[in-house]
């Protein structure tokens, strides 16, 4: 394994671990699969599906050989992340007017979001280097996940949170796991710059979205989906985009599977952004070669409220290699799609529902044919954002398409029976 910079093509050995290249580019893990016996691995991955207790029961470590083969077993942390459900839902099919849609529920992860798939690998890597202090700047699920794995592995996490636009549920989850949460006046970018500048003084392992080990761990989402379908993927994989680490990992995982000969055809990737925070979609739509940051990102989907996504070049690479496309959706479209997913008994946070909202538009316009099949990655849990739920169902229910307000009734049988 090596660290590789896609911008200047420089390589670093793993023992010389860095968060970024000297040229300013992002680093990516490069693996050599030339000596890998794919049939043997495929069999091993099948056998591990029935594991219950070892770290290999994890939906991430099941694929250790193509995620982080060098890691010694004693450094593997796990909370049995991954192994999330893949569902079909009648109400969602009806909403879209098509039949073959699957929902991959990363919301079932231990801290309630897909961030666990990547974080478990980053924290394990940090522990293997001897770190006992971990840090990140985040407005949400990254911090909950980091706090959980740090405490689980008897380490201390330090989470830097901009004091505006924070989701109270997520901060409370982070505080509860025992992180030291530092709120500061400034933006997410200010926080990242601070961590990079004082990296040496702080002596902490940094787990921001550009950490290349997080990307490696997040590849497991597509590995699980591919294994479920016996290495024969549906036509489309649909994913929401904020910082764009998930779509980058998705593309890398697909390329790995292709290089290893596990799959012989790449599915197409659909990336969905929220309209008020869609600099990547704008760049693609306008055929521009450089991303123009959105200085005032604004969407109700807090996990997508990012104006300057650091991984945009990697995301572009995913689109190029999969004939991928992008689309943006409004907050209203997100919330209505979310209500349909929730009322299917599945549930997700607003950011995740953008996938169904995006698909709906593309099926309606004919850009995706009704016969084409798709898996949507539902990234976060329904309870991550209760303020949004309160607003949609209780406070503003008149304007919500699928509101399910409370009934006020006397306990009289005739009133109840007619509900």
Residue 140 or 279: which CB sits closer to ligand PLP?
140
* Residues of this chain that bind Zn ion (CB under 5 A): 5, 7-8, 10, 21, 23, 25
Interatomic CA distance for residues 316 and 14, integer angstroms: 25
Quote the least distance from Cβ 41 to ligand PLP, whole Å: 27
Distance CA 279, CA 198 (A): 29
Q: Single out the residue of 213, 76, 217, 239 nearest to residue 153, CA to CA.
A: 76
Cβ 121 vs Cβ 153: under 8 Å: no
Q: Which does 251 bind (CB under 5 to 8 A by kind): Zn ion, ligand PLP, none?
A: none
State the residue for tokens 């990516």.
Answer: 28
Single out the residue of 123, 172, 169 nearest to residue 150, CA to CA: 123
How near is the Cβ of 146 to ligand PLP at its closest, in Å? 12
Q: Between 31 and 352, whose beta carbon lies closer to ligand PLP?
A: 352
Site map for ligand PLP, 328-357, x if CB under 6 A?
Answer: ---------------------x-xx-----
Q: Residue 73: which of 48, 49, 55, 50 has the closest Cα?
A: 55
Nearest to 6 by CA among 417, 269, 312: 312
Q: Tell me the C-alpha distance between 216 and 122, whole Å.
A: 9
Least distance in angstroms from the C-beta of 21 to Zn ion: 3
Task: Tell me which of ligand PLP, Zn ion, none is bound by residue 352, counting a contact when its beta carbon lies within the kind-specific cut-off of 5 to 8 angstroms.
Answer: ligand PLP
By CB under 6 A, what part of segment 171-230 binds ligand PLP?
209
For ligand PLP, the closer CB: 262 or 318: 318
Among 77, 84, 55, CA closest to 134: 77
Kindly state whether residue 303 participates in binding ligand PLP, applying the rule CB under 6 A.
Answer: yes
Q: Which residues, numbered 374-393, are part of the site for ligand PLP (CB under 6 A)?
A: 379-380
Compute the least distance from the CB of residue 244 to ligand PLP, in Å.
5
Nearer to ligand PLP, 101 or 247 (CB): 247
DSSP secondary structure of 133-170: EEEEE-SSHHHHHHHHHHHHTT-EEEEEEESSS--HHH
CA atoms within 13 A on the CB side of 210: 23
To the nearest whole angstrom, how small is the minimum distance from the Cβ of residue 47 to ligand PLP? 31
**118 is a site residue for ligand PLP (CB under 6 A):** no
User: Smallest distance, Å, CB 311 to ligand PLP?
Assistant: 7
CB atoms within 10 A of CB 368: 23
CB of 169 or CB of 311, closer to Zn ion: 311
| C-alpha distances out from residue 247 to 160, 170, 192, 250, Å | 24, 22, 21, 5
Q: Which does 141 bind (CB under 5 to 8 A by kind): ligand PLP, Zn ion, none?
A: ligand PLP
CA distance 309 to 328: 15
- Nearest distance in Å: CB 180, ligand PLP: 21
* Closer Cβ to ligand PLP, 31 or 245, answer by number: 245
Residue nearest to ligand PLP (CB): 380
| Helix residue spans in 19-74 (DSSP H) | 38-48
What tokens were used for 240?
A: 């929401």
Footprint of ligand PLP on 221-260 (CB under 6 A): 240-246
Residue 379 binds which of Zn ion, ligand PLP, none (CB < 5-8 A, kind-dependent): ligand PLP
Q: How far apart are CA 126 and CA 219, in angstroms?
A: 19
Our CB check for Zn ion shows the closer of 23 and 394 to be 23
Positions touching ligand PLP (CB under 6 A) are 113, 115, 140-141, 209, 240-246, 303-304, 349, 351-352, 379-380
């Amino acid at each position: 394994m090596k660290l590789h910079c896609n911008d200047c093509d420089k390589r670093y050995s793993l023992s010389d671990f860095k968060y970024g290249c000297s040229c300013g580019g992002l680093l990516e893990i490069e693996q050599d699969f030339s000596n890998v016996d794919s049939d043997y691995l495929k069999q091993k991955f099948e056998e591990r599906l029935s594991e219950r207790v070892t770290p290999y029961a994890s939906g991430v470590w099941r694929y250790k050989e193509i995620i982080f083969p060098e890691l010694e077993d004693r450094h593997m942390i796990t909370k049995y992340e991954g192994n999330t459900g893949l569902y079909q839902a009648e109400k969602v099919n009806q909403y879209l007017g098509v039949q073959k849609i699957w929902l991959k529920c990363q919301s079932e992860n231990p801290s309630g979001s897909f961030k666990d798939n990547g974080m478990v690998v980053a924290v394990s890597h940090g522990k293997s280097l001897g770190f006992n202090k971990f840090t990140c700047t985040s407005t949400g699920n990254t911090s909950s996940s980091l706090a959980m794995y740090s405490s689980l592995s008897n380490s201390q996490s330090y989470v830097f949170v901009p004091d505006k636009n924070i989701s109270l549920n997520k901060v409370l989850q982070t505080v509860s796991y025992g992180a030291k949460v530092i709120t500061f006046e400034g933006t997410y970018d200010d926080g990242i710059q601070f961590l990079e500048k004082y990296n040496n003084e702080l002596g902490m392992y940094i787990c921001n979205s550009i950490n290349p080990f997080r990307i490696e761990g997040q590849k497991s989402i597509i590995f699980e989906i591919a294994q479920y379908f016996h290495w024969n993927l549906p036509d489309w994989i649909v994913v929401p985009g904020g910082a764009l680490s998930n779509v980058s990992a998705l593309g890398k995982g697909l390329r790995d599977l292709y290089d290893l000969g596990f799959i012989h055809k790449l599915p197409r990737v659909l990336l969905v952004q929220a309209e008020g925070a869609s600099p990547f979609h704008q760049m693609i739509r306008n055929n521009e070669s450089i991303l123009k940051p959105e200085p005032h990102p604004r969407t109700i989907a807090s996990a997508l409220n990012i104006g300057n996504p650091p991984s945009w070049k990697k995301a572009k690479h995913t689109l190029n290699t999969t004939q991928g496309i992008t689309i943006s959706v409004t907050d209203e479209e997100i919330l209505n799609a979310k209500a349909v997913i929730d009322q299917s008994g599945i549930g997700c946070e607003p950011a995740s529902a953008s996938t169904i909202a995006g698909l709906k538009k593309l099926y309606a316009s004919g850009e995706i044919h009704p016969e084409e099949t798709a898996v949507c990655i539902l990234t976060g849990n329904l309870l991550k954002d209760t303020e949004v739920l309160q607003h949609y169902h209780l406070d503003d229910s008149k304007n919500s398409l699928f509101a399910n307000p409370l009934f006020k009734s006397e306990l009289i049988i005739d009133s109840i029976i007619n509900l």
